[in-house]
Each structure stands twice: as C-alpha cells, then as structure tokens.
Structure 1
Amino acid sequence: MKFTKSEATSFLLIHPEHPSKLIWDAYLLILTLFLAYWVPFSLSFIEETPESMTKFEFAISLSYIFDMLLNFNTSYYYKGTLITNRWKICRFYLTGMFWVDAFSSFPYEWLTNPPLQNSQVSTPKYFGIMKLFRFIRMAKLLRLLKGRKIFYKIEDYILNEFISVIYAIMKIAIFLSIVAHWIACLFYYTSNSQSNSTEFTWVKFFLSGRAEDVDVFELYVTSLYWAFTTMISVGYGDITPQNPLEMTVTVSCMVLSCAYFAYIIGNMGSLVSKHLAYDQRKSEIRVGISRYLRKKDIPKKLQRKVMAFIDNLMENISSYRLRDYEVLDLLSQPLRNEILDFLYHDILNKCSIFTRYFSNDVIANLTKALQVENYSPNDVVFYEKQQSRKMYFICSGLVSIMHGSTNLVYKKLQKDEMFGEIGFFVGHNRTATAKCSDFTLLQSLDLSEALIFTDKQDDFGSIINNLSSSCGKQNYSVLMICCFLCDCLGHVAKDCTVEKIQSGIDSIVINYKKRKTKISKYTDAFQEPKSPIARPIYKKKVVPEKIFKDDLEMQEKIKKFMVEQAPHYNELIPGSKQDIVDKILERSDEDSCD
C-alpha cells in the first residue's frame, strides 16, 4: 500500500486511492459475500456448525479487526482536499463507519464454539443465550453496506464499455441471488422451527409422500425454488405455506421481494437502454448522412468513402461515450490544463526541436494549441509547394510522404512520428506531399494558435524567427531534418543529390517502360500518336502515377541504384542516363536468373 507522510505527525498514512487499498477492500468484500451466503444457511439448515467453518469465520473476524486498524491510518478526501491530519482521520472514522465495523468484526462464533477449544469439551449450545449469539452472527453482514462503494471503485478501473455492462449485470445478479437465498433460508427456518409442534408445515407436507429421507441439499433447492417463484410473482402452487405463521412469512416475503424484484427489473431496463442509446444515436447519424448523400446525388465512390470515415470515427469514440472536448468542458481551467499537459506533453517532447530550444513552460502552453484531425485513406494532409504553418503528430494510422509530381513514396510514417516541421518553424512551402494510407488520427499544431497561447512568453516568437533565419538556402540542420533517401542531415529528399543523378526520375521510368513494352524509342510514351491510324499499343494512355503504383519493385531498384551511385554524381554526364537504365535492367535480369 502507498503511504504518505502526515502533515501533523510523523506517522505513515495509507492513500485512499492506491491500488493496494482497493485490492484489500475487494478481498474483504469477497469474504463478506461468502458470509452473506454461509451464515443464513448455517442458521437454517445446519444444527451444529462444523469446527472447520467456525475457525474460518474466526479468521474472517480477525481480517475485519485488522481492517479497522487500517482505517485509523487511511487518509480521506473532504471537498476535494486530501486530509492527512491524524486527529481528523480518527474523528472522521469514529463518527462514520466505525460502529458498523465494530459490530460486524466482533468474533461471535468464539462465544458459541471457541475454535481453539478442545473439540471433546461440550458447550451449552441449546441454551437460549447460545442461540442468541448464533443469530447475532448476522451482524457480520452489516459489512455489505460498504460493498456498494467498493463496487464503484472497481468500476472506475474498467475502460471497455462491454465489460462495464457485464460487470453491472453481475452486480445485479449477485444481490438478487443473495435476497433469494435469504428468503429461502427464512422460509425453511420458519417450518423447521415448528417441527416439534403439532402444526402441519410445508416441510412435513413435502416429506409426507417420500419413503426415504431427504438430504439438506434437496431441501435447500426446494426452498430456493419457492423463493424465486415467489419473487417473480409466478407461484406454481406445488410448494405452499401450511399454517398461519408460514402464511405471514410468505406475505412479508412477497411484499419485500416483489418490491426488490421491480427495482432490479428497472435497473436492468435502464442499463440496457443506456447501453443501446449511443448505438441508436450512431445509427440515426449514419442513416441521416446516407440519406443526405443520396439526396444530393453524391457519387457512389465518394459516398462509400464518407461512410467508411464515419464508421471509423464512431468506433474510435464508442469506447468512452464522451468526446475529449466534452470531458474537458466539465472541468475547471486549471484541471483542464493539467490534463492537456499530461496527455500531450510527451507528444511534443518526442520532437527534439522543442526539447532543444524551448522550456517546459512553453511546451506546456503549446499542448493547449493542439487540435485533433481525422483522415480517411487516400486523404491528402497537404500538397507539395503548399503554404502552411502547421506540423503534425501521428496518434494512429499511416501517412505516406511522397514526391508531388510522380507520387514516389519517400517514406511511410507511423504512430508517434511527426512531419511538417519545415512549414511550422521556417515557413517554407511544403517540400513533399503527405497522404494518409489508412484511417489516421493526427494532432496538429498551428503556429498562429501557438503564438496565442505563448503570448506572454516573448522568447517563443524570437526563437521561431531565429530558426527561420538559420534555414537559408534549404539547409535545415538546425531543425534536425534528415533526408528520407540518404539519411543525411540538413536537406530533404526533394533536394537530395541522389535524386538528381539521372536528371529526373521520370526519364528512367519512361525508358524502362519503353524497353518493357517495346515502344519505339522515338515516340513519347505519354503522348497520344499523331497518326490518323490508331495503333493498338496506344489505345490506353500511359500515366506516370500508374507506372509507379504497379511497379513497386522498379522503384526499389531505382532508389537502391541511386544510393550506390551517389559518390560518382560529379563524374556522370547527361548522356549517361541510358547507361543507368541499362545497368538497372541488367541487374533485374541477374535477379531473375538467381
């Protein structure tokens, strides 16, 4: 358990929300639930409690007594403030649950059957005082009053909505079975207490038609069967009260059990309706959007794209039922700032630029400027040469950084990676196109919003200006920018020398495609033939994007060859482009032979 120093004393205190405290409370709750079944059953169906069970009950009492000592050393919250003053803690406990714990912790079983006493020594179990002590054992069930609070604490640790519903149903089922168990025990005890009298009871009526003795288990199942049929107001009539006392008990049980059963049914209905309410709302939104798209004659392909995005968005927020801004709007501004700093401080710290040039206070203020953006597959975050002062942090999904004109993928970024630093810090046009390859969740940081939240911190603006002025001539070393092709520091893939070895990657692909399809070397593959007679080979226009998309293996060979030939860039001449293509094709033939 977690201990904290008290403000008034030097003694150690237990924190009320520590997981070890919750485990201890759950352990006591399990013991209490066991007693809720065992104590009524032993009073009704068992004339003499076994010595092993008496010792076990005594061990439970010792656990309760130890829990009382812990409660005197456990701090508590009062109006949101953690109280650690020992005198206040003792007074709070003595005026609260102390007396309930005291009555439920007393070892009453010691008075009727001491567990350490010699089993051969007889005890006056049939005296009235001994019977009274046996029934006083029911006081241990007062601990059930604390069970509701423990159940709520356990529920706070459940994040999955489906498991939460199962947990709620389990709680209802447990307490329903306890009530039915108590009614069954009371109904049997009422009849069994009159066994020595001349009154005709339901037990005598049940045993009258049987030639052999009935064991305790069958009698208990029969009583439990009667309890459930009475609680749900069915009453088949095969088990009925036979004398006025049993009728009185039956009427009392019917009134109480019907009220409790109605309460249970109401809770079950409320639980199901709450669980289905959000699903119904999702269905309404989905149907409404679908009708709107059809009414506006939106193309089918775009309709499917919109609906896939809506389904993914609903699935992401269905586990929590509340969106982020709905949760944060319920909190005060200081609490909201603390949560934002905790959630997003690590995101900004993953960017070495922030940790290198900005203080923790500036980073904490920048977390307030982060905005959530959702994208579907093939959505473009920004295009090459576009002007934008945003940078992005990937929370989930996949983003491809690619060449603007050829769609050649430089690199695919995954969760916990970032992009867009040059536009944010320097203000240059985008050097590549960012396109989502999956349903993607991004955190975006806009410079204009960042300046608002860091208004009183002048060093932020000055640092941004210094970084921008230090990145002249496309040298981004101060931003720790590395090329996606050669991994060298200071430049981007667009300006990489490896990229310029062939004086344009389109020429290599065109020439390779000419060889592959046996197109004449004097004809441009991207132009329609000028001859009035159509040739079969030109029926379908060759698109560069299609070439890159269908021939990924060729992309890898080109990039590998460019990296190998980078040191010899100065020795190459423009006329050697065809030689490069020949070498690539030779390598391709060698790989196929292998």
Structure 2
Amino acid sequence: MIHIHKSKLSINELVWNGLIFIAVFLTALEAPFSFTYKTNIQTWQLWSDSIISTIFITDVIYQFRERYFKIHRHGQKPKSNGTLWWSLITIDIMASIPYDVISYGFDLHGYQFFGLLRLLRLVRVARLYALMSNLALVPKALRVSMLFCVSIMVIHWIACGWSMIHPTLERDITAHYIKSLYWAVTTLTTIGYGDITPTTTIGRLYTMPIMVLGVGVYGFVIANVTRLFTTADRYKEKSKERLGDVATFMKYYNIPERLQTQVFGYYNHLLNKRLTENDTTIIADLPLALQHELQTYMNMRLIRTVPVFKNCSHSCLKDVARALEQKSYSPGQNIIRIGETGNEMFMIGHGTVDVIFSDGTVVATLHEGQIFGEAALMRETTRNADVRAQNYCDLYILNKEDFTKIIIKHPDLLESMQKVTTRRSSDRRKAA
C-alpha cells in the first residue's frame, strides 16, 4: 500500500502502513535473536508469525487489486517500472510465507535459517522510509518513532552479531544478550568503557567497522531528530526573532507604551492564530482556485473558535469561511454607524471594539472571537448603535446575500445566532 507520488496519506493509509512497519519491526527483532541463540519455536511465535504473514498477504492482495484497477478500470499507466514492481511484489510474496509455522509443522531441522528469510520484509522499511521522506505532512511524532525503531533494529543486529562471535556456555541467554546489547550501545555511541573487548582476530575485525559505523549512525540520528524538531517550528522561531527586532525598534525610537502594547498584541495574534506573519505568501504561487480553497480552510480555523459556530457542521463552517471577507480598521475608526442599514455582520479576528449608544455611552466592549451586527442583519432593520475600533482590528465580514444563502442551507446556524442575539439583548437590559 505504498504510493510515493502522493503528497499526503489518509488516516487509513497511515494506520495500515504503521501496522506493516510494526510487523516488520517485530520480525527484525525476533528472527535474528532466534537464529543467534538457536531457541525453540514457542507457541506465541507461531501465532505472531501467522498474524504477521496474514497482514503481508492482505497487503499483497491490495497491491494487485490497486494495480488492476489503475490499468484495466481507469486506464492509468502505473508510475513505477513494471519490472521493478514485479521484483518488489515477489519479495513481498516471499516475505509473506509463515516460515516458523512451516518449519514447526514439518519438523524441519535448522528452521532458524528459514526464519531469517522473513527479514526480506525489511524491504518494506526502505520503501516506507522513502514514502515518509516524500511526504511533507507526515506527523512529526511518526517520523521520530520510525527513526527510533530503525535505530533499535540496528543496535539489536549488532548485538546478535557480537553474541555469535563471542558465544557463551551460560544457560542464562537473557544475561548474555544484555551484555552484548551493552557492548553494542557503548561501541556505537563511541563511549567504549573497555570492560567488554574483543579478544580474537575475528572479534577485532568485527569491532572496527562497528566503531566507524557508530560515528555515522550517531551523527545521522542526532541530525535527523534535530532537523525534524527545528523544521516543524521554524516559522514560529522566525516570528519570535521578529518580536525581538520589534522590541529593539521600540526602544530605539522611544515608542509610547500604549502603542507598544498594541503592536506586540498584534504580533502575538499572528504568532498564535497563524502559521506565519503572512500566510498568503506561502500560497501565492498556487493557481487562484487553489488559493481560494486554502484561504477557506484558513478562515475555518478562525471561526471554529467563535461560540456561535461551535456546534455547526463541517459543511456549514466551510460555506461561512468561503464567504468571509477580511478588512482592517484603525483605532477610533467607525465600523458601524447608527441608522445604517444592516447589510453585513462582523467577526473579530483580532482587536477590540466598543459598542456605543447615541448618547455616547459605551454599552459593551467586544473582543477577539465575538460577532456583532448580526441583529440588524437578521431582522433587516437599521443599526441601533455605533461600533468603533478601540485599537487595530482585523475583522471578517459576512454580507447579507451570502448570509441568506447559508442559513437557507444550514437553518441550525440561524437558530444559534438568534440565541446569541437574544442573550446579548437580555444582558444589556439587565445592565441598564
């Protein structure tokens, strides 16, 4: 179930590929251990071998089915070379054979060797790693977990190799394996305490490449983990650096504290509510249709925080987000005036606004995530109060025409907004 040309995997594909990786990982630990220590097949091994083989057989069937539908039903030419595909599928078929079950059932001697054939499944690890490298949106935790598991596999194989070079007559296989594992870790990490050292020529020959490999593996793992974490937060780090530059700017020009508060408040808004200070730059090179679609999902992230939309369906949120228009206002600028016809409602993305009656009384102060102007829009009346920007504000506007279309399609939204309007009117009467 590998499609390297995709840019993102569905949840089902991630789960299935994760299941395959776990199966390969368990095989990569168990098969070398059984071969090294010549252990007898246990009941749990028969069960695990059967389950893992079933998973691989299912995956092989799925791959054949996908290729058939692409070629014969949809007329698509497969992206992968035919010879390469058949080579890989042959390896997958060989890896699907339950060698432990067959060896045990037919009482074959030297069954541990047949068990090693299951390591053919490691081809899937390479293919999964290639898949992860080509997908920018694979979860960071999944990449780190996969890298950690691959590191465990390498250490385990090296420990098993050391156990074969330095066999023991002890009956305690676990203790001997732990000593071998300890040697592998200290050698790979270049610590090398010297309490366990090779005493034979073959042991020294085995140790030397492991030492060289240790430097590379250690550096590879550290570099990849660091890259995964730094790449994920690079935009926020850039924003924090900009905040430092802004602070220096404010200090140099002796900017008043009131204005500083507004500026830092806006930058904090960008840092918490957006990926970068200018998300539109990221999608600027895309076709307009894709830009509009992505902008819709960016707006959906905003309106999900607004209480009136909390229980709305995904379809409703998408329709509202698609219709929103962003507009900015400066401190003291009137957004709504008394007597105007209510042709739109407003959503506060950032900033604070004051609701002011005709006598100049501030009856309410609205903040980020709240809406206003919806009462006159729903009742088709004129505005009964001024609304003025208290500081720099980002507002999202929904006009009457779009609003009408949306509430016809999603009547539950109208009901939710009516409750908010009624509650707000009741609160104002109590305050009066």
- C-alpha distance in 2 between matches for 1:276 and 1:87: 39
The Cα offsets for residues 330-374 of structure 1, whole Å up to 9 and x where unpaired, read as 4223322344466669999xxxxxxxxxxxxxx99x958833649
User: What is the root-mean-square deviation in Å for CA atoms of aligned residues?
Assistant: 4.8
Alignment match, 2:125? 144
Aligned pair in 2 of structure 1 residues 405, 39: CA closer, same or farther (>3 Å)? farther
| Mapped pair 1:109 → 2:120 | no
Q: Structure 1 residue 85 and structure 2 residue 74: aligned?
A: yes
Residue identity opposite 1:174 in structure 2: C
Q: 393-402 vs 230-239, which deviates more?
A: 393-402
Measured in 2, the distance between the counterparts of 1:148 and 1:372 equals 44
Residues 100 and 373 of structure 1: CA distance in aligned 2, closer, same or farther (over 3 Å) = farther
Q: Closer, same or farther in 2 for the Cα pair 1:73/1:137, shift >3 Å?
A: closer
Consecutive unaligned residues of structure 2, counting only runs of 5 or more, are: 2-7, 304-317, 402-416
Separation in structure 2 between the aligned mates of residue 292 and residue 75 of structure 1, nearest angstrom: 60
1:228 paired to 2:182? no
Is 1:419 paired with 2:373?
Answer: yes
**C-alpha deviation, 1:395, in angstroms:** 6.1
Per-residue deviation, 1:107: 2.5
TM-score (norm 1): 0.53
Q: What residue in structure 1 maps to residue 50 of structure 2? A: 58
Which position in structure 2 is the counterpart of 1:306?
A: 263
Q: Which residue of 128, 150, 157 maps to 1:182?
A: 157
Structure 1: distance between partners of 2:230 and 2:198: 39
Equivalent residue for 1:32, pick from 24, 39, 52: 24
- 1:126-275 aligned at under 5 Å gives the runs 126=110, 130=111, 132-148=113-129, 151=132, 156=137, 158=139, 164=140, 166-192=141-167, 203=168, 213=170, 215-274=172-231
1:287 has 2:257 as partner: no
What's the CA shift for 1:149?
A: 5.2
Deviation at 1:104, TM superposition (A): 1.8
2:414 is matched with none
Match 1:73 to one of 65, 78, 89:
65
Asked if 1:382 is matched to 2:335, the reply is yes
**Residue type of the partner of 2:98?**
P
Task: Tell me by how many angstroms 1:188 deviates.
Answer: 0.7
Q: Is the 8 A contact 2:353 2:387 kept in 1?
A: yes
Contact preservation (8 Å) 2:341, 2:376: no
C-alpha separation in 2, matches of 1:322 and 1:34: 45
TM-score, length of structure 2 as denominator length: 0.71
Query: Contact (CA 8 Å) 1:44, 1:185: kept in 2 or not?
Result: yes
User: Structure 1 pair 390/286, CA: closer, same or farther in 2 (3 Å)?
Assistant: farther
Q: 1:188-587 alignment to 2 at 5 Å?
A: 188-192=163-167, 203=168, 213=170, 215-274=172-231, 277-317=234-274, 320-321=275-276, 323-340=278-295, 367=322, 370-371=325-326, 373=328, 382=335, 384=337, 391=344, 393-394=346-347, 396=349, 401-403=355-357, 405-409=359-363, 415=369, 417=371, 419=373, 432-435=385-388, 442-444=395-397, 556=429, 559=432
SS in 2 for 1:329: coil
Question: Could you tell me which amino acid in structure 1 is paired with residue 150 of structure 2?
Answer: F
- Does the 8 Å CA contact 2:329/2:389 hold for their aligned counterparts? no
- 1:76 deviates by 11
Q: Are the structure 2 counterparts of residues 302 and 346 from structure 1 closer, same or farther at C-alpha, using a change threshold of 3 Å? A: closer
CA contact (8 A) 1:83 1:89 kept: no
* TM-superposition CA deviations, 1:531-552 (whole Å, max 9, x none): xxxxxxxxxxxxxxxxxxxxxx
Displacement of 1:275 in angstroms is 5.1
Distance 2:137 2:127 in 1: 16
Q: How many residues align?
A: 387
Q: 1:312 to 1:152 in 2, by over 3 A?
A: same
SS in 2 for 1:156: coil
* Structure 1 residues 68 and 167: CA distance shift in structure 2, 3 A: closer
Aligned to 1:8: none
Partner of 1:529: none
The 1:153/1:133 distance shift into structure 2, 3 A limit, reads same
Which structure exhibits the higher relative contact order, with contacts defined as CA atoms closer than 8 Å and separated by 6 or more residues?
A: 2
Question: What does the per-residue CA deviation read over 1:467-522, in whole Å, with 9 as the maximum and x for residues that have no partner?
Answer: xxxxxxxxxxxxxxx999x97xxxxx9xxxxxxxxxxxxxxxxxxxxxxxxxxxxx
Counterparts of 2:296 and 2:69, CA distance in 1:
24
* Partner residue, 1:510: none
Q: Name the CA shift for 1:416/1:328 in 2 (closer, same or farther; >3 Å).
A: farther
**Larger Rg over CA atoms:** 1
Equivalent position amino acid for 1:145 in 2: A
* Structure 1 residues not aligned, in runs of 5+: 2-15, 118-122, 159-163, 193-202, 205-212, 349-362, 448-459, 461-481, 488-492, 494-552, 560-594
